[in-house]
Structure formats: C-alpha cells, structure tokens
Structure 1
Amino acid sequence: MTTSTDLEQAGAVLAAEAARFASFGWMRGTSGNLSVLLSRDPFRLAVTASGHDKGELAPHDVVLVDEQGAALSGGKPSAEAELHARVARLTGANAVVHVHTVASVLMGRKQPGGIVLKDLEMLKGVGHPAEGEEITLPVIANSQDMRVLGDRLEAARDPRMPAVVVAGHGLYAWGDSPRQARHHTEVVEWLLELELRLTTG
C-alpha cells in the first residue's frame, strides 16, 4: 500500500530532478513533467502536479495516479499523466521524464521519420556501442489526446532506445530509476543538439 510518506518522498526526488532540468532551460515556466513508479501491482505512479514552476517544486507538489493516469490523491496531475503511465507499463520503466527542449522540437521537424545515430561515443549512455551500430531515435506526431499520442509512441518506439521525440512538442525519456531516466534524457538531448548543429552547419 502506498502511503502519504511514500508519495512525499517521491515528490522530493521529483522536485530535485525538476530543479536540475529547469536549470538547463529544459522546463521553462510550468512546462514538462516527471514521474516515478511507486508500485506496479496495484499500479501507482507519482507524477508532478499541473501548473507548477518546475524549478520551484516542493515535495507535496506531486499527485498519485493509477494505470490510466487518473488522480487518486494529491490534487491535479500533469495533463500528460496518462502518457507517463502508459510508458511505464509499456516499457517496464520505473521513471519517466518529459522536457521541452529546442533541439528536440527542431530535430523533430527536420527529421520527422526518425533521427539516425551512429559512430558516437555518447551512444554508450543509452546502451549502445560507440561504433558499428546504427540506432534510430523515433519521432512521432503530436496530439493533445494522450490515448492517440500513446498509440503513436507504442507503434513507433524502438525497445533499444529509451526515448522518443514528439514533433513540435519535446522529448520523452525513461529508465529504471529517476537517476537513469535523467541520464538518458541528458544523453539523448546531447545527441539531438549535436545532430542539430550538424544539419544546420
């Protein structure tokens, strides 16, 4: 059973992660959202609350949701809580990060069919060798309907890549823990920034 203490502890972790991303300019204003899984059976996910400055979150600025992203306690969750829950169920991840970065939006527009990556040392950060392997970061069309967006993510995702770009929107990344999800987010964003510079000269 998930307790209020469990939720507040999760909120403290998410607040620290959000402050880090906000310091990079990846969660401007109230944009972006984070989640961490508290229980898989029954499914319980802690998601950052809607409408809060992500650089100023407190441990109580978090909402407990079920497998459909519906709030169980703690107020109003992010509008994308349903997608966080689906990603966690689909991938087996225990933490999900969503940031709004310029590089992810621009690269999603430049390469809507997916962003091909190879021969880069930083690929080790998402579990791939630096040489001899090609991996594609999926790009999906945006939607305000989280069920539609979830269907697109499920259809496009590559199990070898713990991230997806939502065109015109931003980046989703996930991992076994908030720390790993953070690392995946930072590595994929680095790769996106590099590709953007290469494509723009």
Structure 2
Amino acid sequence: MSVDISDFDLAEAGAVLAAESARFASFGWMRGTSGNLSVVLARDPLRLAVTASGHDKGELTARDVVLVDGAGAAVAGGRPSAEAELHARVAALTGAGAVVHVHTVASVAVGHRSPEGIVFRDVEMLKGIGQPAHDVEVTLPVIANSQDMTVLGDRLEAAREPRMPAVVVAGHGLYVWGQSPRQARHHTEVVEWLLELELARR
C-alpha cells in the first residue's frame, strides 16, 4: 500500500519539529547539533518526519526535516539523523506518534550511577506520565549504548517498561515518546525533572 505524503505535509511537520527543537535547545538539552525529533505521518506503511542530520537544533526551519520509512531510511528530503532507525523502531513498538531524543546531563549522570534502572516512587510529578503519585514504583530503564541502531532497538525493546514512556541510553542521553509532539514534549520535561531530582538527591 502506498502513502501519499505531500510537500506541504512534510513542511508542516518540519515546522512543528523546528519549534519543539528550539524549545529543547533553549533548555540546553540539544547542544550544538546533538539530539533529534520525529513525528509519525503515516502508519501503513510507517513514515516519519525526522530532523535532518548536522543542523543546529536551535536554528531549524520547516525545511530541515527528512521523510523516512519504517527502517529509518530516507524517502525524501536529504540525510536524516543516524538514529532515525531507532525513532521508527520506537514508533512501531509503542504506537507513539512522536519521539524525542535529547542529550541531558542528568540522564547521563544518573544512568551511569544506576545501570540497572532508576526507580521512582511517591513523587507527585509521576502524574505527568500518567502514573499514580504514591504507592507505586515505576522504573526508568537504562540500556547500554551502541552505534548499531538495530542492536540498540533490541535492547530498548527488551528493557521497555510500558508504564514509562522513556528510556535512558547509558553515556548518551534520553529517548522519550508520546501520542503527539506536545505529549512527547510534556513527557520529556517530566522525565527530565525526575532525573534532575534523582541527581540532586545523590
């Protein structure tokens, strides 16, 4: 089955991703050209708009986006992030409509200290990812890094906690997802807050 995605659709997605990237870059979470974002444009077959590789994430325009397939390969628009394959894997695995990858100090520091995963309990901010604030433990998985996106995707799939829309990649950063770019943003901000709290506690 073919998918009809127009230049307008891709540009519209690019404008959304540029705005989200500028927000995350303003927090210092996407320094230089690091990090990448995606939004699902079609499911059958899977197609995502992914931020283009090598661009300052605080200065993206609506044109700085690439259409990729379910394997993360470019369909239109240039060269996608090297991690586009993992974005597609997360979207297929979780049903997410948008994926965020940021490089935060807290995610790297806490992931280094807790390679077995980071447990959160009795914190009001857990409501921000749809979990009870009390009497429930939720674990943020930590997985070993790899430059092979298939290997990294396998690790993410094996470690994924369905109640936690995120995973830390050790020594690398944070992947977070949601049903829409807005929800993925909210989840990212909440998970990063939880990580910063854990870092402050230690």
* Short-chain TM bin: over 0.9
Structure 1 stretches (4+) deviating beyond 4 angstroms?
none
Mapped to 2, the partners of 1:184 and 1:139 lie a distance apart of: 17
Quote the residue 1:29 is aligned against.
Answer: 32
Deviation for aligned residue 1:181: 0.2
Asked if 1:90 corresponds to 2:93, the answer is: yes
TM-score (norm 2): 0.98
Residue 21 of structure 2 aligns to a residue in which SS? helix
- 1:21 Cα offset (Å): 0.1
CA distance in 2, matches of 1:166, 1:127: 22
TM-score (structure 1 length as normaliser): 0.99
Matches within 5 A, 1:61-72: 61-72=64-75
Residue by residue, what CA displacement relative to the aligned partner does 1:98-150 show, whole Å, maximum 9, x if unpaired?
Answer: 00000000011000000000000000001111111000000000000000000
- Give the letter for the 1:169 counterpart: H
Deviations 1:16-61 (A, max 9, x none): 0000000000000000000000000121100000000000000000
How far the C-alpha of 1:94 sits from its partner, in A, is 0.4
Aligned length: 199
The 2-side partners of 1:85 and 1:156 are apart by 17
- Identity rate of aligned residues, in percent? 78
* Match of residue 7 from structure 2: 4
- What's the C-alpha RMSD, in Å, of the aligned pairs? 0.4
Q: Structure 2: how far apart are the matches of 1:141 and 1:198?
A: 24
* Pairing 1:123-138 to 2, within 5 Å after superposition: 123-138=126-141
Q: Which residue of 2 aligns with 1:172?
A: 175
Q: Distance in 2 between matches of 1:160 and 1:131?
A: 14
| Unaligned runs of at least 5 residues, structure 1 | none
Distance in 2 (CA, whole Å) between partners of 1:150 and 1:188 is 20
Matches within 5 A, 1:1-201: 1-199=4-202
